[in-house]
Amino acid sequence: MADWRDIPQIEFLGNDLKTWAVALGIFLVTFTILPLVRRVISARRSRHTDHSTMHLSMDLAANLVAGTSPLFLLALAVWLASRDLAFPPKVDRWLTIAIVLVFWMQAARWAMAAVRFAVDARRQRSTGPDTLLRSSMEVILFAAGILIWGIAFLLALDNLGIEIKPLLAGLGIGGIALALAVQTVLGDLLASLSIALDKPFGLGDALTVDDVQGTVEHIGVKSTRLRSVNGEQIIMSNADILKSRVRNFGRLRERRSLFRLDVHYETPVPALAAVPAAVREIIEATPATRFDRCHLLSCGGPALQFEVVYFVTSPEFAVYANAQQSINLAILERFRALGVSFMGATPTLVRLHDARAGAADERTGGTAVPAPGA
C-alpha cells in the first residue's frame, strides 16, 4: 500500500501533484488579488469624478487600471501559474500564442486609453467648451487606433517568432496598390486629419463653402455634415471643403456694416454738412455699435452719396439686424428734421397683357404703366 506522503509525487499530465497544487495556488491568488485591486482603484476613481484632487500621473494610472481587461488578468494568472509546469510542445506553443496575443491586445487598449486621457485632459484645461477638439476627437482616435493596433499586431507576430520583414515589404507593395485604388477615400481621410490638426472650423460654426451655407453638425473621417439655413442636411467630402474657400462666421468677433445714403442734389449745403454729425450721433446712441466714419464721397452720380461704416460688437446676426433697423428709423426721422431729402428710384415700366385682348396688344405693342409705388 502506497504511503500518503508519496501522493504529492504522483504525476499528472507530466507534472506531479505538488507542482499542480503550487500552480493552482498561484493562479487563485493572482486571479483573486488583481481583479480586487482593479475594482478598488476603479471605485476610488469614480468617487473623484472631477479628478481635481488627483495628480495627473495618478489619474492616468487609475485610468489604465480601469481599462484593464479581465481576459488579460486571466492570461496573466495562467502565465504565472504555468511557469513551473511542463507541457507537451504543441500545448505549450498554443498557450504561448494565446498569452502573447492577449498581452499585446491589452497593450493596445492601454495605448488607446492613454490617447483618450490626453484628449480629455486637453479639453479640461481649455477655457469653455472646446468644440474644435470635440469635433476632431473622432478623427484623432481613428488615426491613433490604426497606428496602435497595427504596431501591436506586428510586435505580437515578432514575439511569436514570425519574420515580419517580408510581411512589411508585402504590406508596403499592397499599400501602394490599395492607395491607388482608394485614393479618393484616402484623400478624404488625410483631409480629415488636416482638419483635426489645423482646426479651421468646429462643431456649431456657421460656414459658407462656395455657394453653400450651413452650420457644422458633424466632422467625420470622410465627410463633414452641414445643416443649411433652409433646414436640409448638406454632406460634403473633407477634401472638397479644403479645396474651397471657406468663410467661418463662427469665429466672427464683430460685424462691419457699410451702407450708402443717396441724397437729392437740391438739398441745401448746410443740411448736407450736418449729415455726418447726425449719423454719428445716431450710431453712437445705438447699443452694441461702434461708429467708424460717414463721408460725402460721390457727387457725380444720379445722387449725392454718403458712405457710412460702423461695427456691431456682437457676432449675432439678430443683434446686427436690430441695430441696422434702429439706425435706419432714426436717420429717416433726423433727415426730415434737417430738411434732407432722399433721391428716389427711377420709375419702372411694366407691360400688362390681357389674354382676351391679345390681338389688341399685338397691334398696340402692349400698355406701359408705372409699377406700383413708382
Share of the chain above pLDDT 70, in %: 72
Shared-domain flag, residues 242 and 266:
no
Residue 310 maps to which CATH number? 3.30.70.100
pLDDT tens sequence across 93-131: 888 888 888 888 888 888 888 888 877 776 666 544 455
**Residue 14 confidence (pLDDT):** 59
Domain count, the chain: 3
> pLDDT of 185-244, one tens digit each?
667 777 877 887 778 888 888 899 888 889 998 888 788 899 998 889 999 988 888 888
The answer to whether residue 363 is domain-embedded is: no
- pLDDT for res 350: 38
- Looking at the structure, tell me whether residues 259 and 298 fall in a common domain: yes
Residues 146 and 115 in one domain: yes
Query: Is residue 43, in this structure, part of any structural domain at all?
Result: yes
> Is 84 found in the same domain as 217?
no
In a shared domain, residues 60 and 178: yes
Q: What is the pLDDT of residue 56?
A: 62
Based on the fold, state whether residues 118 and 76 are members of the same structural domain: yes
pLDDT for the residue 336: 92
In a domain, 179, yes or no: yes
Answer yes or no: is 266 within a domain.
yes
CA distance linking residue 311 with residue 97, whole number of Å: 69
- Domain match, 134 and 71 both: yes
**Model pTM score:** 0.49
Range of the domain at 20: 4-186
89 and 160 co-located in one domain: yes
Judgement on whether residues 152 and 291 belong to the same structural domain of the protein: no
Instruction: Specify the CATH number for the domain of residue 216.
Output: 2.30.30.60
- How does pLDDT run along the chain (374 residues), one tens digit per residue? 445 555 555 565 556 667 777 777 888 887 788 777 777 776 666 665 554 445 666 677 777 777 778 888 888 888 877 777 766 778 778 888 888 888 888 888 888 888 888 777 766 665 444 555 555 566 677 778 888 888 888 888 888 777 777 766 666 666 666 655 556 766 777 787 788 777 888 888 889 988 888 999 888 878 889 999 888 999 998 888 888 888 888 888 888 999 999 999 989 999 999 999 999 999 999 999 999 999 999 887 889 999 999 999 988 888 999 999 999 999 999 999 999 988 864 444 334 444 444 444 444 444 333 433 33
Is residue 357 assigned to a domain? no
Asked if residue 164 is part of any domain, the answer here is yes
Is 215 in the same domain as 277?
no
In-domain check, residue 366: no
